[in-house]
A and B are shown apart, each in its own frame.
Chain A
Amino acid sequence: MDIPMFPVNDFGPAMKGMIIGGLGILHVFLAQFAIGGGMMMCYFEWLSQTGRVPFARQFVDGYFKLLVLVSFVVGAVTGVGMWFTSIQISPRTIGTMVQEFHWLWAVEWTFFTLEVVSGYCFYRCGPQLPDTIRLRLLAIYSTAAWGSLFWINGILSWQLTPGSYFATHSVWDGFFNPSFWPSLIFRTISSMTIAALVACVVLNFVTRFDREQRVVLQHRAVRFLIPMVAMPALAVWYFLVLPVDSREWVLGGSVVMSMFFALGAACSLLIGAYAVAVMFTQGLYLNGATAALLASLAFLATAGGEFVREGVRKPYTIRQYLYSNSITQDEVAYLREVGCLNIDPWPVEDPDTYPTDDLRRGAHVFRIQCSICHTIDGANGLVHLAGKWTPMQLRLNIAQLQRTKPFMPPFAGTAEEVDWLSEWIAWQSAGRPSDWDRNPNAPTLAQVDEWLDEVGTTPGIELPEQPQEAGR
């Protein structure tokens, strides 16, 4: 069995998920701003051209510059950055996604190209163009931006709900997966919300409008928040298509996920409530501070939503296929036989810092199987989580990892590797002493083997009945 192994990097006290999550949240927020911003510009241009709000045109030209400066620069570069960061965190995951969906990714690229060209045409020549062309350019820009979301959404949602993909191996079955539509509509509404709130912030800094004009423009922008009323229904729809275990984690099974979900929901609720107040109170004006606060809440809601979306995939990065530690379901059984250390060509860094070979091997096992989600003593550190466990507890819980926590993958190694990892955790928890003897109370390898056999190699969560072929 050819299992690709990569030189894993250490991010110190930061969890790898924090790195990709941080960049991901920023990118999603900016990308959604670009999508919603395009739609809003279309709407404002139409308002101006139909005479409903004649001065909206000036706002379009100014707001579009901001759109270009933010989304074309940071948005575009962080988009590429997501690829690079994914490679740093889980090269096998991004490799599988690229392999399986490369043509759809290429389609997304054609939309992005169109977005850039139409956007720049408007940016450069917009003020000199006749009305018809202005509106058409904006329509093309916003359609291309939304199209980009359409394609990427299918690939991302496939990670969580692959649907019948692993049975049929059809790209389209994977793309139009169960969470595709609720996720797409949800993201579209989020985009509109972000665009509206940023517009309210920007309006406070545009000196060419008087207060009355700003109120008019703000009230028009706030209309983009109306679709938020559909969010609760969409959330229910999304929950219904989620795998049962994922849903349970959000609804209390994992307190962190529940809290992030609650954060997203609460922020959305606050934004919605304020929007209602603005819409039904003629003359109510959102000053810069309030608008910025609401935009910040939208950022927090995005962060909460993205965290939950990433979190509920556990123990997988690609559900039913690839575990979060980049080992497939099929490979777990194989690695139980041959051991994970035997297939990794990358040596342990700083091997001389370990007093015994077993500890060095334990560090190696940690790097292969645990370091994707855990640090040693930083965020989600093993010393904090398992440092006080007895030798028996350590070995049992590691051997039967998927029962210890169902959102963890099964241990993919031999009994000896369980033993080495346990010793290494105990050594780290003891403050890395220079002298270290094997713990006398440790259970025998035969006992660990028994525990491994007892739990098997299947995940701790319930999977639907269907063939589970390995990816290509």
Chain B
Amino acid sequence: MNTLFPGGFPLPTAFYLTLYVLTLALHVVFMNYVLAGSAYVMCSVWRARRSLIREGAAVNDDQLARTITDWLPLMLSLAITAGIAPLLFIQILYRVRFYTANLLLFHRWMAILPVLIAGFYLLYLLKKVRTSERPWLPRLTTMAILGCFGFVGWSWTENHLLSLESQAVWTRQYVRHSLFFNSPELWPRLLTWLCGSFAHMAIILMWQWRWGTLPVDSDITAMQTMRRLSTIALGGLTCAVGTGLWYVSTLPTLERGLLMSPLAGPWFAVACTGVAVQVLGWVIGRRAGRPKLSTLIPLTTGGLLTIVGVAVVRESLRLSRVDISTLYEAHASAYTIDGFAAFVAFAVLSGLLVAWCLKATVRGAGSWSGALRSQFGLKVPIASQHVSRYCERRTLMR
């Protein structure tokens, strides 16, 4: 605990901890897009209704919501796929604790599967919803989608917190047959994830804009889009800092001190630096009016620093509660098992083929902005149709 993460642990443990944190960070990138995207689309749909009265605002919401809606199924698929790797490594690292928490939450935990499937299909449904015929449908659908992914996030957080507890707490939980685990850390922690996810989604949307998958037609729209994205990101970061402070206040004093310890302190600084870089990037980039690389690179770097820093701090907090030294032997045993070379070889091969697939698709379809934008054109938008059709009607009425 007195050495910078992941140092200070035996090599096998440090190795699996590193793999876990890195793969978790990758999962978080996609997860954030799904979580924040669902929330944004829901707000956009509700805002579209209010814009009826205000007459035709929210052109930007339109484009953003359309793009997010269109990309959410893919992002969810990638989030699930990327989530498999940390799920594998957590079983190597904390097998008994992870399994025990799963078992204690029982039906409630298993419910994430049908809920996830329902959320997935609702995302596809959302792309097909015709708002003009049944205006309540998109509102209901987006609420259900956010509810599904919120439930999954809530369950994971609860599962994680329960896995950190002692045998005495577990026994109480088991005897009570309780499917819920209340902890003062639960809500601030969950809200910190949720708020932070908006900033990361905004960065990904900036890249989508640059690659042409977020269609922006005019300079005015570009300025509005930039302002909207920076507001989302800065708002998300501000709220995340606030809820983060709330979360820290719920921690025992000893664990609060961990944030300044040699183990996690530097990583906490990395996360804070990442936030600062993002804030600076958005404040400066806000005036740019287009997604310049000079803005995107610091923003992306800041975003990644934040994700990795927070992931390490999260892990350090776990390590402060769990006696991982009892697991060293199991980690060492896993470390000696063959197959790593095969994994590296196939990971490289798959990586190359993934790169080829993307490149060939972009090249073959003309360009992202060509092929994919035309695809967007064919899709039935949600918020956009909702807004524009009502606005049309209002204009006609006048």
Q: Which residues of A contact B (CB under 8 A)?
A: 4, 6-9, 69, 72-74, 76-78, 80-81, 83-85, 87-88, 91, 94-95, 98-107, 109-114, 116-118, 120-121, 124-125, 128-130, 133, 136-137, 140, 144, 170-172, 345-347, 349, 472
| Set of chain A residues within 8 Å of B360, measured between Cβ atoms | 121, 129, 133, 136-137
Q: Which single residue of chain A is at the shortest CB-CB distance from B363?
A: A133
Give the interface segment out of B35-43, B46-54, B334-342, B387-395: B334-342
Can you pick out 25 interface pairs between chain A and chain B where the beta carbons lie within 8 Å of each other?
A: A9-B106, A84-B109, A85-B110, A98-B92, A99-B334, A102-B337, A104-B343, A106-B88, A106-B339, A107-B339, A107-B342, A110-B350, A110-B351, A113-B81, A114-B350, A116-B78, A116-B81, A118-B353, A121-B361, A124-B372, A128-B374, A140-B353, A144-B350, A171-B339, A347-B175
| Set of chain A residues within 8 Å of B167, measured between Cβ atoms | 345
For window 213-250 of B, CB contacts with A under 8 Å fall at none
For window 80-118 of B, CB contacts with A under 8 Å fall at 80-85, 87-89, 91-92, 95-96, 99-100, 102-104, 106, 109-110, 112-113, 116-117
| Set of chain B residues within 8 Å of A113, measured between Cβ atoms | 81-82, 350, 354
Asked whether any CB of chain A lies closer than 8 Å to the CB of B346, the reply is yes
**Looking at the complex, which one of B100, B112, B354 makes contact with A117 (CB distance below 8 Å)?**
B354
| Set of chain A residues within 8 Å of B364, measured between Cβ atoms | 125, 128-130, 133
**Looking at the complex, which one of B82, B109, B361 makes contact with A125 (CB distance below 8 Å)?**
B361
Q: Which single residue of chain A is at the shortest CB-CB distance from B106?
A: A9
| Set of chain A residues within 8 Å of B347, measured between Cβ atoms | 106-107, 110
Report the Cα distance A110→B349, complex, angstroms: 9
Chain A to chain B: the 5 pairs with minimum beta-carbon distance, closest first: A103-B339, A91-B99, A110-B350, A133-B364, A129-B364
Majority DSSP secondary structure for residues of A touching B: helix
| Set of chain B residues within 8 Å of A172, measured between Cβ atoms | 338
A225 to chain B, nearest CB (A): 30
Other CB < 8 Å A-B pairs besides A72-B77, A80-B80, 8 of them? A69-B121, A84-B102, A84-B109, A103-B338, A103-B340, A106-B347, A110-B346, A117-B357
For window 330-381 of B, CB contacts with A under 8 Å fall at 330, 333-334, 337-340, 342-343, 346-347, 349-351, 353-354, 356-358, 360-361, 363-366, 371-372, 374-375
B97 to chain A, nearest CB (A): 11
User: Total A-B pairs in contact (CB under 8 Å)?
Assistant: 190
Majority DSSP secondary structure for residues of B touching A: helix
Most chain B CB inside 10 Å of its own CB: which residue of A95, A121, A472: A121
Report the Cα distance A415→B78, complex, angstroms: 54
B363 to chain A, nearest CB (A): 8
The tally of residues in B whose CB lies under 8 Å from a CB in A reads 66
| Set of chain A residues within 8 Å of B109, measured between Cβ atoms | 84
The reply to whether A77 and B116 contact each other, CB–CB distance below 8 Å, is yes
Q: Which single residue of chain B is at the shortest CB-CB distance from A90?
A: B99
| Set of chain B residues within 8 Å of A73, measured between Cβ atoms | 117, 120-121, 124
The reply to whether A111 and B350 contact each other, CB–CB distance below 8 Å, is yes
Asked whether any CB of chain A lies closer than 8 Å to the CB of B171, the reply is yes
A24 to chain B, nearest CB (A): 13
**Looking at the complex, which one of B120, B171, B330, B361 makes contact with A345 (CB distance below 8 Å)?**
B171
Q: Which residues of B contact A (CB under 8 A)?
A: 74, 77-78, 80-85, 87-89, 91-92, 95-96, 99-100, 102-104, 106, 109-110, 112-113, 116-117, 120-121, 124, 167, 170-171, 174-175, 177, 330, 333-334, 337-340, 342-343, 346-347, 349-351, 353-354, 356-358, 360-361, 363-366, 371-372, 374-375
The reply to whether A81 and B113 contact each other, CB–CB distance below 8 Å, is yes
The reply to whether B334 and A7 contact each other, CB–CB distance below 8 Å, is no
| Set of chain A residues within 8 Å of B96, measured between Cβ atoms | 4, 6, 95
**Looking at the complex, which one of B106, B124, B177 makes contact with A69 (CB distance below 8 Å)?**
B124
The reply to whether B99 and A107 contact each other, CB–CB distance below 8 Å, is no
Report the Cα distance A88→B100, complex, angstroms: 9
A175 to chain B, nearest CB (A): 9
Report the Cα distance A39→B5, complex, angstroms: 46
A113 to chain B, nearest CB (A): 5
| Set of chain A residues within 8 Å of B113, measured between Cβ atoms | 77-78, 80-81, 84
**Looking at the complex, which one of B120, B330, B343 makes contact with A106 (CB distance below 8 Å)?**
B343
Report the Cα distance A9→B179, complex, angstroms: 12
Most chain A CB inside 10 Å of its own CB: which residue of B83, B85, B120, B350: B350
The reply to whether B365 and A472 contact each other, CB–CB distance below 8 Å, is no
**Looking at the complex, which one of A95, A103, A349 makes contact with B91 (CB distance below 8 Å)?**
A95
Decide yes or no: A107 and B102 within 8 Å by CB, A80-B84, A345-B167 being known contacts. no
A392 to chain B, nearest CB (A): 35
The reply to whether B110 and A88 contact each other, CB–CB distance below 8 Å, is yes
The reply to whether B175 and A121 contact each other, CB–CB distance below 8 Å, is no
| Set of chain A residues within 8 Å of B365, measured between Cβ atoms | 125, 128-129
Report the Cα distance A128→B367, complex, angstroms: 11
Q: Which single residue of chain B is at the shortest CB-CB distance from A171?
A: B338
| Set of chain B residues within 8 Å of A88, measured between Cβ atoms | 102-103, 106, 110
